[in-house]
């Protein structure tokens, strides 16, 4: 049985290394029993409580996409030792209006790539705090901090380093198992 995972890429840059990581995960997903579909954040408006009475359609569609997925993977860059503002905004949109948190009870996992050796460790820690507040059961292990060196991922999503490809496939398999545990 294929696990349907919604993926939120925390960067809206077309040249993001985290978008490349998403493409690699899509390429590797079938071997882990996962179907990965992006839930885009680029068109979301900035969250304001002014929307709570009449949520914009793009925000409602975003929330429904999260709710319809078996689980969520968030692929985050690290900006200034935290998550990008565009990602935090998307999380705020997903959690509102009060009492309509789309992440509540939804299994989640985080991963990220960085040009630095510590990957996106600090951003992921901030993200885990937010997901915990949302009541989203998080995959604790294995953690996934990807050091993205030039050429690691090709334009078509192929991971050129065999050990990294194996790690990412194993991580996706752990995500599927995590989602299945929490969906039962």
DSSP sequence for 15-79: T-HHHHHHHHHHHHGGGGTEEEEE---TTPPPP-GGGTTS--HHHHHHHHHHHHSSEEEEE---B
pLDDT band at 118 (very low <50, low <70, confident <90, very high): confident
Sheet holding 71-75, edge to edge: 34-38, 3-9, 71-75, 108-114, 145-147
The pLDDT score that the predictor gives to residue 117 is 87
pLDDT at 184: 63
Per-residue confidence band for 174, with pLDDT thresholds at 50, 70 and 90: very high
- Inform me whether the pLDDT recorded for 150 exceeds 70: yes
Give the integer Cα–Cα distance in Å for 53 and 82.
30
CA distance 22 to 5: 12
The CATH H-level (homologous superfamily) assignment of domain 3-182 is: Flavodoxin domain (3.40.50.360)
In tens, the pLDDT along 3-62 reads 999 999 999 999 999 999 999 999 999 999 999 999 999 999 999 999 999 999 999 999
pTM, entire model? 0.96
Tell me whether strands 108-114 and 34-38 are parallel, antiparallel or unpaired.
unpaired
Residue 1 is predicted with a pLDDT of 82
68-72, 115-119, 151-155: segment of lowest average pLDDT: 115-119
Q: What is the DSSP string of 123-149?
A: HHHHHHHHHHHHT--B--SS--EEE--
Listed by start position, the domains of the chain span 3-182
CB contact burial 71-105 (16+ within 10 A = b; e otherwise): bbbbbbbbeeebbbebbbbbbebbbbeeeebbbee
């Amino acid at each position: 049985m294929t696990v349907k995972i919604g993926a939120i890429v925390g960067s809206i840059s077309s040249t993001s290394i985290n978008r490349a990581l998403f493409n690699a995960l899509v390429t590797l997903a079938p071997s882990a029993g996962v179907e990965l579909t992006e839930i885009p954040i680029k068109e979301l408006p900035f969250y304001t409580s002014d929307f709570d009475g009449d949520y914009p359609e793009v925000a409602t569609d975003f929330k429904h996409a999260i709710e319809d997925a078996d689980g969520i993977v968030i692929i985050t860059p690290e900006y200034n030792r935290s998550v990008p503002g565009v990602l935090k905004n998307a999380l705020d949109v997903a959690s509102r209006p009060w009492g309509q948190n789309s992440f509540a009870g939804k299994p989640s996992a985080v991963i990220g790539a960085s040009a630095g050796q510590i990957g996106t460790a600090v951003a992921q820690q901030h993200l885990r705090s937010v997901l915990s507040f949302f009541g989203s059961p998080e995959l604790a292990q294995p953690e996934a901090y990807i050091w993205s060196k030039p050429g690691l991922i090709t334009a078509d999503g192929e991971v050129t380093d065999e050990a990294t490809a194996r790690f990412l496939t194993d991580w996706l398999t752990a995500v599927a198992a995590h989602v299945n545990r929490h969906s039962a």
